[in-house]
A and B are shown apart, each in its own frame.
Chain A
Amino acid sequence: MGPVVKVENLCKTYRGRNKQIKAVDNISFEGVSGEIFGILGPNGSGKTTTVKSIATIIDYDSGKIFVDGLDNKKHSNQVKQRIGAVLEGARNIYWRLTPVENMIYFAGLKGLSYKDIKTDIEYFLETLDLKEVKNKQVREFSKGMQQKVAVACAFISNPKVILLDEPTLGLDVETARQMQVWIKKIAKEKSSFILVTSHDMKFIENVCERVSIIKDGKIIITDTIGNLKKYFMKKVYKITLNSPLDSNQLESLKSSFMVRFENVKDDFVIFITIDDDSMLYDIFSILAIKKQAIKSIEIENDDFEDVFLEIIHTNGEKNENNKSI
């Protein structure tokens, strides 16, 4: 199965009167049908520019984007036919129309009739819990409900590619979590390629199979969530002692490890972040100087947010030999 989206050496620079901003710098990636692919990056890293370039909304400077094998500059209308999008910060839907009317309208923009999408309308009303409000105007809805309608409209023409730019932005935690379930379910049943950008790490972690992490317009790394966790996740050891360390011990630990200390009641707690368990021997040898009694040792793993921050701060340059970029 060939890629349904192929981005090759995409570059985009915004030129102002006094300065130039390189928003996207030589980005390449591809995705296949049925896959949910994430793009992660700090603000201004080029996520939205990438998404809008694929959607033909932005005219990029160089590189190539193929959607379903079609060059999106040469065949923009055919490409638009194959894309549905929920764009960041935009309303995406018409507030004076009902969910059903919005779906009919957006299908019409792709040349589809009500008859063509009748069963899909029922599917989305059911899947997204919109049945009870199907005849209410969208303006009466909460932000989460409106976002659901926008997602339904993006999917309604059964496009091969779905672009979701910050789909959980402004949603409460519960709705954002529900959105994960819906998107995974719809992706599975409709077998579209879904490209998601989000600041919500939990969302990306739970929804995406692979991610690209971008910074300053460049892709630092592309891999599966599992591999990124494997290569970048650190362990935090929580070591509880019955008495505090002396100043030499403190200095030794501080100079060699990422460490913080806490006094909890009568106990002295050390939090040490390490990525190699063999380092524990070095820690124990420092603790052995004064022979403090160790009351307990607990291990706490980083979450994906810490992994993301680690990759951003190290520019993905850890365990270089193990990475499958």
Chain B
Amino acid sequence: MKIINLFKVEGMKYWLEIKRYLFNTISSLLVIYIIFLVYFFGIKFMTGPAMSTEKLDVLIIGYIMWMLALIGFQGTSYLVYDEMQRGTFEQMYMTSLGLENVFFFRVFYDTIFSIVFTSLILLLTMVTTGRYFSFNVFHFLVLFFLSIPSMWGLGFIFGGLALIYKKISAFLNLMQFVIIVFVALDAYPLRARSFLPFAAGASSVQHLINSHGSFPLWWYFFLLIISIFYLIIGLLIFRILLKKARKLNLLGQY
């Protein structure tokens, strides 16, 4: 019951801040809308008939996957950075229900918010441009949720680094490009690069859009195991760095 109360107040706080940082929220959504418009109109305009409809669909879905992976990564890494800047991290740490649970709930709300609003903006873009494409949303979500924990794991590692080194924005920016590589890699069917975080999941989604294909059952387990592996590694490293930060009295300093 206690954990449900934590889940509820995290949702309350998330929603209130979305509303109260309205300019930031609206501008973020507007940026996504503009990027979709660029994809729909711009790439077609630049590449002409050379760009097939399927390839454009893959590009758009690739972008969505990248964006959601980034949100998963930032949900944990940027959260530490942000709370330290605000001067509230020590209070957050004082939760009796586990700091990691606070992180998970925030990243959960972040992900749900992003999926809902990205879907709405995608629909709006389709209506605006008059160009529609379809894919199995349920299958997409299954593949996404099986793969995203690996990004949370990476986020925990960078969150831990932020505890110690404080200003790691250069690294966080660099990770945006690294995540593009993970998303763009061809990691389906199974090969060495499939073991990289999120790569197999992103490739599976592209395969789903491209060929409306299905996957053997073991592949879903593989996605889950890879995700859990990176999540556990991330959590372990985060705990080591958190202990170090507590030893050096760095939790409250920015």
Whether a CB of chain A sits under 8 angstroms from the CB of B139 is no
Structural contact, A85 and B12, CB atoms closer than 8 A: no
Structural contact, A57 and B6, CB atoms closer than 8 A: no
| A78 proximity list for chain B (CB < 8 A) | 96
User: Which one of A33-41, A109-117, A180-188 is at the interface?
Assistant: A109-117
CB proximity of B189 to chain A, nearest CB, Å: 44
Q: Which of A56-108 contact B (CB under 8 A)?
A: 56-59, 77-78, 80-81, 83, 85, 87, 89-97, 101, 104-108
Structural contact, A80 and B88, CB atoms closer than 8 A: no
Whether a CB of chain B sits under 8 angstroms from the CB of A257 is no
Closest to B98 in A: A77
Closest to A80 in B: B96
Whether a CB of chain A sits under 8 angstroms from the CB of B177 is no
Structural contact, A96 and B16, CB atoms closer than 8 A: yes
Name B10's contact: one of A89, A91, A92, A108 (CB within 8 Å): A108
Whether a CB of chain A sits under 8 angstroms from the CB of B21 is yes
Give the interface SS of chain B, mostly helix, strand, loop or mixed. Answer: helix
Closest to B20 in A: A96
Closest to A83 in B: B94
Kindly state the separation between the CA atoms of A57 and B163 in the bound complex, as whole angstroms.
Answer: 13
Kindly state the separation between the CA atoms of A107 and B5 in the bound complex, as whole angstroms.
Answer: 9
Structural contact, B5 and A108, CB atoms closer than 8 A: yes
Name B252's contact: one of A56, A57, A81, A93 (CB within 8 Å): A57
| A110 proximity list for chain B (CB < 8 A) | 2, 95-97
Structural contact, A108 and B86, CB atoms closer than 8 A: no
* Binary CB contact string for chain B from 222 to 253 against chain A (1 if under 8 A, 0 otherwise): 00000000000000000000010011110110
Structural contact, B252 and A89, CB atoms closer than 8 A: yes
Closest to B85 in A: A91
* Binary CB contact string for chain B from 78 to 119 against chain A (1 if under 8 A, 0 otherwise): 000000001110111111111000100000000000000000
Structural contact, A55 and B94, CB atoms closer than 8 A: yes
Give the A interface residue count (CB, 8 A).
37
Structural contact, B8 and A59, CB atoms closer than 8 A: no
Whether a CB of chain A sits under 8 angstroms from the CB of B13 is yes
Structural contact, A87 and B90, CB atoms closer than 8 A: yes
Structural contact, A105 and B249, CB atoms closer than 8 A: no
Structural contact, A58 and B246, CB atoms closer than 8 A: yes
Whether a CB of chain B sits under 8 angstroms from the CB of A14 is yes
Kindly state the separation between the CA atoms of A59 and B251 in the bound complex, as whole angstroms.
Answer: 11
Structural contact, A97 and B13, CB atoms closer than 8 A: yes
Structural contact, A113 and B13, CB atoms closer than 8 A: no
| B10 proximity list for chain A (CB < 8 A) | 108
Structural contact, A111 and B248, CB atoms closer than 8 A: no
| B248 proximity list for chain A (CB < 8 A) | 14
Given contacts A58-B246, A80-B94, A90-B252, contact A109 B6 (CB under 8 A): yes
Whether a CB of chain B sits under 8 angstroms from the CB of A199 is no
Give the B interface residue count (CB, 8 A).
34
Structural contact, B96 and A81, CB atoms closer than 8 A: yes
Q: Which of B101-154 contact A (CB under 8 A)?
A: 102
Whether a CB of chain A sits under 8 angstroms from the CB of B170 is no
Structural contact, A105 and B95, CB atoms closer than 8 A: no
Structural contact, B88 and A91, CB atoms closer than 8 A: yes
Q: Which of B17-71 contact A (CB under 8 A)?
A: 17, 20-21
Whether a CB of chain A sits under 8 angstroms from the CB of B174 is no
| A97 proximity list for chain B (CB < 8 A) | 13, 16-17, 20
Structural contact, A57 and B5, CB atoms closer than 8 A: no
Whether a CB of chain A sits under 8 angstroms from the CB of B9 is yes
Structural contact, A111 and B8, CB atoms closer than 8 A: no
| B192 proximity list for chain A (CB < 8 A) | none
Kindly state the separation between the CA atoms of A110 and B5 in the bound complex, as whole angstroms.
Answer: 9
Whether a CB of chain A sits under 8 angstroms from the CB of B217 is no
Structural contact, B94 and A85, CB atoms closer than 8 A: yes
Name B16's contact: one of A49, A101, A113 (CB within 8 Å): A101
| B252 proximity list for chain A (CB < 8 A) | 52, 57, 87, 89-90
CB proximity of B105 to chain A, nearest CB, Å: 10
Q: Could you tell me which A residues sit within 8 Å of B by CB distance?
A: 14, 49, 52, 55-59, 77-78, 80-81, 83, 85, 87, 89-97, 101, 104-113, 137, 153
Q: 16 interchain pairs (CB within 8 A)? A: A57-B246, A59-B246, A80-B95, A87-B90, A91-B88, A92-B88, A94-B88, A96-B16, A97-B16, A101-B12, A105-B12, A107-B9, A109-B95, A109-B97, A110-B96, A153-B91
Q: Besides A81-B96, A91-B88, 20 other CB < 8 A contacts?
A: A14-B248, A49-B249, A52-B90, A55-B90, A57-B90, A57-B94, A58-B247, A58-B249, A59-B246, A89-B87, A90-B88, A91-B86, A93-B91, A94-B88, A108-B5, A108-B6, A108-B9, A110-B95, A110-B97, A112-B5
Q: Could you tell me which B residues sit within 8 Å of A by CB distance?
A: 1-3, 5-6, 8-10, 12-13, 16-17, 20-21, 86-88, 90-98, 102, 243, 246-249, 251-252
